[in-house]
Structure 1
Amino acid sequence: MSTVFVVFYRNMNLGHQNSPDRAALEDALREAGASFVRSFQTNGTVLVKVGDEDPREVVDRAAPRLTAVSGYKDAAIVRPVDHLETILDRNPFAGSTDERTYRETFTFFDGDHDFGAPVPWTNRRGDVDIIEFSQGVALSVIRKTGSRVGNPTAELEARLGVPATTRTAGTIRRLLKASR
């Protein structure tokens, strides 16, 4: 049985300008070698199975087709579903939220980076708390202050200098249920 992976596309909004529609996204990944593809929601989150192949290679092969059909050419970050399940099984947000919490989030990025500050860490505006940082994922609690919502993607991209993309913990929980 092949492992299920998740592809997190950065800045993809299915059917909008410079983003493919659902069919084009799924077709590109199938044509690139995925044996199973299921786009989840409209935010560029996709479940894939690739057999024994490296999922990154499949995603990389699909990229030119996505550019050709829609103009999309941003980052795609791949993670095994099992890794996400392991994180959630630990209940990592317990004790980190309060009445000011707007969302619990996962922010994904590629590479082995040092955060450069002790974690937990809070940004200057006090609307993003990075509570964990390891293995290409940062867990955050974000707050809404006035009409502004904390942005862990922007915080991490500025600190790390690499593309990142964020999903809510609720999305990750629903994604895990859909992967079973």
Structure 2
Amino acid sequence: MSTPIIVFYRNMNLGHRNSPDRAMLEDTLREAGASSARSFQTNGTVLIEADAEPHEVVLRAAPRLLSLCGYNDAAFVRPLGQLTAILDRDPFAGTGDEQTYRETFTFFDDAQEFGAPIPWTNGRGDVEIIEFADGVALGLIRRAGTRVGNPTAELESRLKVPASTRTSGTIRRLVKAFG
């Protein structure tokens, strides 16, 4: 039996321009070698199971997504167990305050050094990274006046690689649904 894997697509909104609809995304992943594919919400988060190497499934699906709907962006593959283990540690306990807007998981590939002590806060004070390891940065988005921070933009700028963010609420619901 294969291990449940989560694919986090960057800048995918199911049914919108340059994004597949749910059936197209799931069918494309199955055609690429996933034994099952179940989209979660509409933000490009998908649970797959595959006997083949999951990264290869996602790579094989990419040209088909491009030809079907024009989608051509990054995808981040993580074992469901990694997300469960992070949540089991309750890493956000005691980190929020009255200005906290969201707790976040930001995914990226390539072994990267953050290059600054953790926890780290950006210059505007609206993004705080509290943990950084194994292709996942845990963070807090804070309100700064009328705007909120963007951990994806902060990490992409700092690391020079694509990234994609989900809220901790999404990750909790995902683990509850499939864990």
Shorter-chain TM-score tier: over 0.9
Q: Give the % identical residues.
A: 71
TM-superposed CA distance for 1:146, in Å, is 2.6
TM-score w.r.t. the length of structure 2 is 0.98
Which letter maps to 2:142? R
Superimposed CA distance per residue, residues 51-78 of structure 1 (whole angstroms, 9 cap, x where no aligned partner):
2x21000000000110011100000000
Letter in 2 for 1:132: E
With 6-15 and 138-147 compared, the bigger mean Cα shift is at 138-147
Does 2:114 match 1:115? yes
User: What is aligned with 2:18?
Assistant: 18
| Alignment size in residue pairs | 179
Over residues 4-26 of structure 1, what are the superposed CA-to-partner deviations in whole Å (9 max), with x where a residue is unaligned?
Answer: 00000000000111101111100
Structure 2 match to 1:131: 130
TM-score, with structure 1 as normaliser:
0.98
**SS of equivalent residue, structure 1 residue 124:** coil
Cross-structure match for 2:103: 104
Paired with 1:144 and 1:68, the residues of 2 have a C-alpha distance of: 39
**Cα deviation digits, residues 30-50 of structure 1 (max 9, x gap):** 000101110000000000000
The answer for unaligned runs of 5 or more in structure 2 is none
Aligned counterparts of 1:150 and 1:18: Cα–Cα separation in 2? 25
Aligned alpha-carbon RMSD (Å): 0.7
What are the superposed Cα offsets for residues 85-124 of structure 1, whole Å, 9 maximum, x if unpaired?
0001000001111111100000000011000000000000
Paired with 2:46 and 2:69, the residues of 1 have a C-alpha distance of 17
Structure 1 spans left out of the alignment, 5+ residues: none
Secondary structure, aligned partner of 1:112? coil
Aligned counterpart, 1:38: 38
Q: Which residue of 2 aligns with 1:86?
A: 85
SS in 2 for 1:34: coil
